[in-house]
Amino acid sequence: MRVLYEGKAKVLYEIEGEPDKCLVHFKDTATAFDATKKAQIEGKGVINNTLSSLLFRLLEEKGIRTHFIRQVSDREMLVWRAKRYELEVVVRNITAGSLCKRLGLKEGQKLKRPLVELFYKRDDLHDPLVCKEHVLLLGLASRGEVNSMVAIAKRVNRVLKSFFKDRGLLLVDFKLEFGLLPDGTLAVIDEISPDTCRLWDIKTGEKLDKDRFRFDLGDLMEGYREVLRRLQGG
Q: Where are the domains of the chain?
A: 3-80, 83-219
- Answer for the pair 160, 171: CB distance below 8 angstroms, yes or no: yes
The domain defined by 83-219 folds into: D-amino Acid Aminotransferase; Chain A, domain 1 (3.30.470)
* pLDDT per position as a tens digit, 68-118: 999 999 999 999 999 999 999 999 999 999 999 999 999 999 999 999 999
Mean pLDDT calculated for residue range 211-225: 97
What does the pLDDT look like over 135-175, one tens digit per residue? Answer: 999 999 999 999 999 999 999 999 999 999 999 999 999 99
pLDDT at 138: 98
The reply to whether 3-80 and 83-219 are identical in fold is no
Which residues, 6+ apart, have CB-to-CB distance to 219 below 8 Å?
212
Of 81, 62, 87, 88, which Cα lies nearest the Cα of 181?
Answer: 81
Q: Is the pLDDT of residue 205 over 80?
A: yes
Distance CA 181, CA 214 (A): 33
Could you count the other beta carbons within 10 Å of the beta carbon of residue 200? Answer: 21
* Superfamily, domain 3-80: Phosphorylase Kinase; domain 1 (3.30.200.20)
The pTM (predicted TM-score) of the whole model is: 0.96
Judged by DSSP in three states, 155 sits in helix
What's residue 234's pLDDT?
59
Half-sphere exposure of 143 (CA within 13 A, CB side): 1
